[in-house]
Amino acid sequence: MPPQGVVERAAWLRGEIERHNHAYYVLDAPTIPDAEYDKLFRELQDLEQQYPDLLTADSPTQRVGAPPLKEFQPHAHGVPMLSLNNAFAPEEVEAFDKRVRDGLETIAAIDYAVEPKFDGLAISLTYENGIFLRGATRGDGVTGEEVTPNLRTLRDIPLRLQGEGWPKRIEIRGEVLMFKADFAELNARQRERGEKEFANPRNAAAGSLRQLDSRITAGRPLSFFAYGVGLGSDAVAATTHAELMDRLAAWGFPVAAERRVVQGARGLLSYFNEIGEKRPELPYDIDGVVYKVNRLDWQAALGFVSRAPRFAIAHKFPAEEALTEVLGIDVQVGRTGAITPVARLKPVFVGGVTVTNATLHNADEVRRKDVRVGDTVIVRRAGDVIPEVVASVPEKRPMRDLFGGEPLQSPFELPGNCPECGSRIVKGEDEAIARCTGGLYCPAQRKQALWHFAARRAMDIEGLGDKLVDQLVEAGLVHTPADLYALTVEQLAGLERMGEKSARNLVDAIAASRQTTLARFIFALGIRNVGEATARDLAKHFGSLDALLVADSDALQAVPDVGPIVAASIAAFFGEAHNREVIEGLRRAGVQWPEGKPEPAGPQLLVGKTLVLTGTLPTLKRDEAKARIEAAGGKVAGSVSKKTDYVVAGEEAGSKLEKALELGIPVIDEAALLSLLEQGVQE
Ligand code: 9MJ
C-alpha cells in the first residue's frame, strides 16, 4: 500500500495534467510553462513506477506518446556504456583472438558468442522490480539523454518483464533500429506528405527516437534488439553470454536470431562470411558482426582497455556509405534514350571500392534530394549495386558569403539537349524519365535502334545479330539503318569472325530486306509505344508512309487502339528532322513496299460499341465489315455476351444468333449495319 497522501497526490497530479493537456491540445492555450508541465508529468510517472498499484489505465502517463518536452534530461548510466574496438581485416581478428588467449593464458580454442552488429542507436533501459523505469541514449557512454516516453511507444520494449530471475535493478543494453521495409514505407509516407525523407534506416531511427514530442515517435515504426546487460549483470543467473541472451529473451526482449557460439579465430571468420552473405536478405541493416568471449568469468578476467572491453570486438563490413563532394552533374543517355543524371564525385572509398560516379536516377530525384554541384553528399554502394547519391548534406552547402544568404549553385536543371547527339530532351508531365528524341540518329541509342531494325519481325535481315551490330557500330561503318544498305562484301569481310562467304550472305540479306511492307517498316523505326500490332494498324489505316508522316494527333487517334500517348509518341518521332532524314535515306537506299489506298477515316460513330458478326452477309465480306466497324471506332468481338451491343447476322447464322436472342441483344442485318456505320446509333 502506498503511504498516506501518495494516493491523493497521484490523483491530484492526474487531474492537473489532464487540465493542462486540454488547455494545450484542445484549446490551444497553454496554462503552464512546458518545464513545469514536464515536472508534474515526471512526478506522476515516478510515483506510478514506485507504486505500480497506483497506476490506472486512464492515467495521462499511459497515453501513447506523451506531450512535448522542452529538452531531454541527462541520464547517468549505472554502468558506463562501452564502445567496441573495430577490426576490418582477418589478421586483426586473429590478433584479437591471440590477445584473448594470451590474456587467459591458454592455447585452447576459445568459445565466442557471435552476433550481428545492428546499425542503429545504442540505448540502455533501466528496470526496477521488473518495471520499465527509464531509458536513455548512449550519449558519451557515461551520461546519455533520457528518452523514456519515446521508448515507451516501442512495442518491442516490455513495460513489465516476463518470467522471473531478474535482479531488483537492471540495465538492459541494446539497439533501437528501423527495419528496411518499415523504412521504405515511412519514406513513401513522408514523400506523399511532402515531408523530408530520411537518408537511411539508421538516420530514420535516430530522428524518430530523438523527438521531444513522443507522439511523433509513436507514429514511427521502431524496433529494438537486446544484446547485453549493464548494471545488475552479476546478479543474473548466467555463466555465459549465450545464457545471458537466453535470459533476456525469456524476459520478453527481442534478441538476434542469428546469434551463435563458435570456436576460435576460424569460427569467427567463417561466421563473418556467413553473415556477410546473408546480409542483403536480413530485414534490418547491420554494419558487421560482434564477437564476445562467451564465458562471463573470462570476460571479467580480461577486463577493459580505456573504454572498450578486451573480451569483445566488432568486425565491420567495409562502410557502404561515405561522404564526398559533387564535382559536377552530367547526364547519361541509355540505349532506349532514357536520360540519367550522374554525379561526378571526388573519389571516395566506399563499399570496398573507389567510387567516382554515382547515379542520381532521374531529374525528379535530383530535385527532390536537391543535390547541387559543390554539395557534400552521402554516397552509398551496397554489395554489387551501382553507387547512388542518397542525400545531400544541406549544412555543408557552399553559400555566396560567410553569413549564409544564397547558395552558390542553383538547383539542378535537365539540359535541353542530348549530350550525345544534340537532339531535344523531352519529359512527360507525369513521367519520371526524360528521353532523348534523337532516336535513330543518337549514337547512344544507335545499337539498340539497329538491333531492332534488323529484327525478324521488323526488316528481317538474316545474319545481322546483336554482336555484329556492335562490331559495325564500333568500327564506325554504320551510323543509321540507312548505312546498312551501303555495306560492301569487302568491308564486312574485314570484320572479326566474318569470312568472305558470310559477308556475301549478309549483303544479300540486307539487299533482300529492301522489299518489305509498310507495317514492317513502321515497326522497324522503333518509335516508342509503337509495337507490331500498332504498326500494322497504322499501315492499314493510312495506306502510305506519306499519309502517316503528315497525320496530326487527332488523325492518329482515329486509328483503332491509338490513344493520346501513342499518338504523341508517333507525332514526336516524325516531328524530329533527323528521324525524317533517316527515313529519306532508307527510301533513297531503295527500301520500298507496296502502298495501298488509305482507309477513309470515317466519323467515329461506333466508339464504345461492341458488335459480333455471325453468318454470311449479302455483300460485305467478313474482314471488310470488321475493318469498317473498327474504322468507325467500334469493336468486333468473337463471342456474344451481356456486353455485346449488336449481333450482325447473315445467312446460316448459328449459335451466336441463338445466344443473342437468349440474352435479348439486338440482332441486325447488313443493311442496318451500313446505316449504323453512316448515321451511328439512333438513341
Ligand atoms: C550491436 N550494435 O549490435 C554490442 N552490438 O556489446 C552488439 N553492440 C556491444 N553488441 C558491448 N551486438 C558493447 C556494444
The best mutation among 83, 114, 117, 272 to test binding of ligand 1, ranked by most ligand atoms within 8 Å of the C-beta, falls on: 117
- Give the pLDDT of residue 600: 56
- Give the pLDDT of residue 252: 93
Nearest-atom number in ligand 1 for the CA of 82 is 13
Question: How far, in Å, CA of 101 to CA of 108, rounded?
Answer: 8
pLDDT in tens, 456-489: 999 999 989 888 888 898 888 998 899 999 999 9
pLDDT in tens, 519-577: 999 999 989 889 888 999 999 999 999 999 989 888 899 898 898 889 998 998 898 88
- Give the pLDDT of residue 57: 62
Distances (CA, A) of 251 to 212, 234, 425, 435, 670: 29, 17, 61, 58, 83
Q: Taking residues 444-464, what's their average pLDDT?
A: 89
Place of cell 531503295: 590
- Give the pLDDT of residue 404: 63
Question: How far, in Å, CA of 679 to CA of 673, rounded?
Answer: 10
pLDDT in tens, 481-530: 999 999 999 999 888 888 889 999 999 999 999 999 999 999 999 898 89
Q: Walk me through the domains of the chain, giving residue ranges and CATH numbers.
A: 4-62 (1.10.287.610), 76-316 (3.30.470.30), 321-407 (2.40.50.140), 439-588 (1.10.150.20), 610-679 (3.40.50.10190)
Q: Residues of the chain with pLDDT > 70: what percent?
A: 94
Which pTM was predicted?
Answer: 0.56
Q: Which of 117, 292, 540, 635 is catalytic?
A: 117
Distances (CA, A) of 683 to 77, 230, 679: 84, 84, 11
pLDDT in tens, 583-603: 999 999 999 999 877 655 567
Helices (H) and strands (E) in the chain, counts: 25, 26
Region for residue 119 given its phi and psi (left: phi exceeds 0; alpha: psi -120 to 50; beta: otherwise): beta
- Give the pLDDT of residue 233: 92
Place of cell 471488310: 624
* Nearest CA owner, ligand 1 atom 4: 227
Contact yes or no for 627/537 (Cβ under 8 A)? no
pLDDT in tens, 398-427: 887 666 677 778 888 989 999 988 889 988
Radius of gyration of the chain (CA): 37
* Nearest CA owner, ligand 1 atom 10: 227
Check pLDDT > 70 for residue 12.
yes
- Give the pLDDT of residue 33: 67
Check pLDDT > 60 for residue 26.
no
Non-local (6+) Cβ contacts of 150 within 8 A are 135, 209, 210, 211, 214, 217
Q: Taking residues 358-366, what's their average pLDDT?
A: 90
pLDDT in tens, 142-168: 899 999 999 999 988 999 999 999 999
Check pLDDT > 80 for residue 79.
yes
Per-residue pLDDT band for 27 (boundaries 50, 70, 90) equals low
Per-residue pLDDT band for 65 (boundaries 50, 70, 90) equals very low
Contact yes or no for 116/143 (Cβ under 8 A)? no
The best mutation among 227, 255, 286, 293 to test binding of ligand 1, ranked by most ligand atoms within 8 Å of the C-beta, falls on: 227
**What distance in angstroms lies between residue 294's CA and the mean position of ligand 1's atoms?**
14
Q: Is 278 a catalytic residue?
A: no
